[in-house]
Structures are given as C-alpha cells and as structure tokens.
Amino acid sequence: MHDYNISYKGLAEGEYLYDYHLNETFFETFETENLLAADLQVSLTFRKKSTHVELEFDINGTVSFPCDRCLEPVSSEIETQQKIYVKFGEAYAEEDENLYIWPESNNDIDVSKFINELIVVAFPMRKVHPDDTKGRPTCPVDMLKYIENINDDGSKIDPRWNELNKLKDGTS
C-alpha cells in the first residue's frame, strides 16, 4: 500500500525522496475514462522550506487505452517532469497549474491528487495504433478484417452471403 499522504508538519526543513510505482488501480479513484492498464514510475523530491513546500515530480512509464480504430489495447509512453509549489493558507485553492494553496489545518499533503493531474495531462491526444512506413495501420489484422466486415448499421456481414450475392448478380 502506497502512502501518498506526506505528514509535512513533522518534517524538518530539507529534501526528502519518495518513489511510487503505479498501475491502473491508482486511477480508479479518479475515474479516468477508458484507461486499460498503466505501469508508471514516479519519483518525488519533496523540499520543505520555511514558507512553502516544493514538489518536484519525475514520471515515466506506459499507459494503455483501447485503440480509436480497432479497440484493441494500444500503449503509449509517458514522460513528464513538473515542479509544483504548495503554500499554506485558509482553504484549498489552485492559484495556477503550478501553485496551490493547502489548508494549514491539514497535517498531510496528499500528493496522489498532483500525480493524477500530471499524468492525465500527459495522456496521448490520439489513441490509435500508429501507421507503418507505407501508411498502413498497424492495428492487429484480424480485428481490422472484423471491422471491415461490419455493415454501416453495425450488423456483421457473413462472408458466405457475399459469395451467394455474387452468384445471384452474375458477377462471379
């Protein structure tokens, strides 16, 4: 069980290192749409200063989504670095994407929230098997054949009927 809550109040000023290994279950809490699998390494350098806290994240690994074209899993590399500043105040607030106000009454900083946001922003825009050098999709072939055999209304064409229709039309 990973502990994403860092009890910063008990820490002396200085630098602390945390490592997390995430899989898809991490994202269940955040209801990340369509994510099939994840394998990510997160290194956090936590710097406690006299007036604020600096969180420096280094995240890399892979995530997998259903391909937009064939629905088979397609994986993407994720690599992101980000520094977040946390100051203390009355209530939680997001000043900008790198500066947060954290309620002074909280003893812990929950870093899972930041980790989730950094990764979601790094998700690929286009989730599809890439084309090969000849511009052909690299989707698994069987699945493409299956898709090509589906009518516009979603019903499946039985290849045997195609042959029969050809006979009827005299095109065979």
* Among the listed residues 67, 84, 111, 118, the single contact to Zn ion using CB under 5 A: 67
* Among the listed residues 78, 111, 115, 139, the single contact to Zn ion using CB under 5 A: 139
- Quick one: 84 or 139, whose CB is closer to Zn ion? 139
* Among the listed residues 38, 70, 109, 118, the single contact to Zn ion using CB under 5 A: 70
Q: Is 53 in the site for Zn ion (CB under 5 A)?
A: no
Interface region with Zn ion, contact rule CB under 5 A, candidates 66-74, 79-87, 111-119, 145-153: 66-74
CB 17 within 8 A of CB 41: no
Per-residue tokens: 140: 């698994």
Give the Cα separation of 56 and 86 in Å (integer). 11
Write the CA distances from 144 to 10, 63, 128, 141, integer angstroms.
Answer: 57, 22, 13, 5
Q: Is 48 in the site for Zn ion (CB under 5 A)?
A: no
Among 2, 37, 33, 7, residue whose Cα is nearest residue 19? 2
Q: Is 69 in the site for Zn ion (CB under 5 A)?
A: yes
As beta bridge partners, residue 1 has: none
Interface contacts to Zn ion, rule CB under 5 A = 67, 69-70, 129, 139
